A and B are shown apart, each in its own frame.
Chain A
């Protein structure tokens, strides 16, 4: 596994939740590309970002400063830590030039939260109905699901670190409910 995750806390923002056993922080901006198409397109795209795109359902792959998430049998999200979305888009698009596909820049569509700590899974279970037992939801698993009434993408980066992405206008709702659920962690 690479040293650094593509997701890092946005140093310009103060953390959203800080308790002794869980932290919620907003992730720094990223380039996000939505890729739809067949496995051939995925293979070219993977080569261009240095991380083969995952073909197994609900899995992810990581490279330095990049990650790719399986979201559906013809759908991936690619995340890259780089400043210029247009340049990244062109690079990946060019790599797939001969293969039917759809590549769309969705960098601005989503915001991401990093939820970490021994109570991270507990906190998420306040609104997410998934079983976070590691036998059921292992490290590296990624899925779209619901957080209360909001659609999200959830990725388990490590045992105690989850990344939650939602469309930007849904993020205040997600944040409010995470803060609400975390309040009791500080109670006696």
Chain B
């Protein structure tokens, strides 16, 4: 195991966050604060409590999940795509580091950034709404699991993408709509029965609800189902990454 190489990539990626602090941390915190102002204070004050939880507190897990998913994907996809774009990927491919080690480093860095971001958004939320976390262990577990899973997904997108448009395509046009429609801002029980049924095909529903359960102790779907779904998505991402390792797809001619 080339631990030094893993650490070198991890440090390199974390240093990149330091250079782009405004884009990586400040920007999502400001946009989250705006969500609280608009949905929590302005609109939320007119919406009834859901399962005994005020609307402002209800949307916190969904908001964190929204940022967690999009930033995990963006961080990891950009991390591996940028060396491809500027040509420095040659160094990674010629170094004595395995694909698995490179993945651990890139995904680890992207997930770390996302978890830090999630914690900052949580702290920001605490300034706007009264917050309590009923199951802190599961909250941390869902946070880390989701960050790792979607960083892996982002890593795959970064390898697949051959242009910046493709890089933005999945987070903007797939993940963000799925998150908005995945019960981030509402309980799916508020939907008509048909759309409730349709929502169950949206994997983000399970992620948001698992996370929400760890905060409020209630959710639209069972915790076991949420956990199984999260692990299932993780397994799919791992399988795809493993296949890329085997074939060198989009990395080696």
User: Do the two chains bind?
Assistant: no
Residues of A at the B interface (CB closer than 8 Å) are: none
